[in-house]
Amino acid sequence: MILVTGGTGQLARALADAAGGGALRVVGRPDFDFDRPETLRATLDATAPALVVNAAAYTAVDKAESEPDVAYRANRDGPAIIAAWCADHGARLIHISTDYVFDGSKGVPYVEDDATSPTGIYGASKRAGEEAVLASRAQAVILRTSWVYAPFGKNFVLTMLNAARKTDRLRVVADQRGCPTAAADLAAAILALADRWNGSDGGLYHAAGSGETTWHGLAEAVFARAERHGLRRPTVEPIATADYPTPARRPADSRLDCGRLARRFGIVLPNWEASVARTVDAALA
């Protein structure tokens, strides 16, 4: 049985949809709560999964700057408990991490062995979670992903669609580069990995949508597709990061090289543009 953490989060929901009611159980608050560590082992003991997919995390990038303790409980301490349980019970673990473990200064896509240098509490707490999982005796794969979106939940694609209903002009950052990733595509990759991975060759892998763009480019792709559904297309003004200050500093270029995942497991996520189109169609259906 596969246990997925993350409750109603977009990746957990996408995994449940992709599994189609198979041998997969999703857990979340209040039964599985990183702020109540005693619930973690209790849930794991009660379900006794053969594989855990840890899709739960504290992802409020800016809020993390003022809530570091909460971020570290969810992104470091919780994964450490899960990994220790998996090690004790011979269960496999797929732990989801982020491109924000990098500072974005490399200039070309990051590979798994590149040095990490998070620019904020969110990225630092996620990196600490990676280290905790890697230090455990668990058979574990860590999947770093980026810019995740879905036709539900809270994400950039839905934010843009909602904004377009309210205004005819938007300002979107155009000097941050990354690899948008559909939750549905990531879920399919995780389930494929679950089938192909026997517990050896664990460690770090990158799993993101193929191709790259900026937040501005992503917004334009969203609106181009939404226009087919009759949504008025706003003017999208490209701006610099400096023009949109936030509490947390984002990496300027967090593109991920996903070649290791393709070579080892034959898993390649679809092109981000095609996936954005499908997501917008689903959101506006």
Domain boundaries, the chain: 2-153+180-212+255-270
d(CA 229, CA 224): 10
Q: For residue range 196-225, list pLDDT tens digits in order.
A: 999 888 999 999 999 999 999 999 999 999
Q: Given the structure tokens 């594989």, which residue do they identify?
A: 51
Mean residue pLDDT of the chain comes to 97
Question: Does residue 189 contact residue 269 with C-beta atoms inside 8 Å?
Answer: yes
d(CA 25, CA 49): 9
Q: For residue range 174-187, list pLDDT tens digits in order.
A: 999 999 999 999 99
**Mind spelling out the 3-state secondary structure of the chain?**
CEEEECCCCHHHHHHHHHHCCCCEEEECCCCCCCCCCHHHHHHHHHHCCCEEEECCCCCCCCHHHCCHHHHHHHHHHHHHHHHHHHHHHCCEEEEEEEHHHCCCCCCCCECCCCCCCCCCHHHHHHHHHHHHHHHCCCEEEEEEECCEECCCCCCHHHHHHHHHCCCCEEEEECCCEECCEEHHHHHHHHHHHHHHCCCCCCEEEECCCECCEEHHHHHHHHHHHHHHHCCCCCEEEEECHHHCCCCCCCCCECCECCHHHHHHHCCCCCEHHHHHHHHHHHHHC
Q: Which residue has the higher pLDDT, 23 or 192?
A: 192
> What's the topology of domain 2-153+180-212+255-270?
Rossmann fold (3.40.50)
- Residues annotated as catalytic are 122
Q: For residue range 251-279, list pLDDT tens digits in order.
A: 999 999 999 999 999 999 999 999 999 99
Whose CA is closest to 183, among 40, 2, 6? 6
Q: Residues 146-156: what's their mean pLDDT?
A: 97
Prediction pTM value:
0.97
Question: Does residue 83 contact residue 231 with C-beta atoms inside 8 Å?
Answer: no
Does the pLDDT at position 133 exceed 80?
Answer: yes
Q: For residue range 89-119, list pLDDT tens digits in order.
A: 999 999 999 999 999 999 999 999 999 999 9
Give pLDDT, residue 11: 97
Does the pLDDT at position 192 exceed 90?
Answer: yes
Give pLDDT, residue 111: 98
Q: Residues 49-72: what's their mean pLDDT?
A: 97
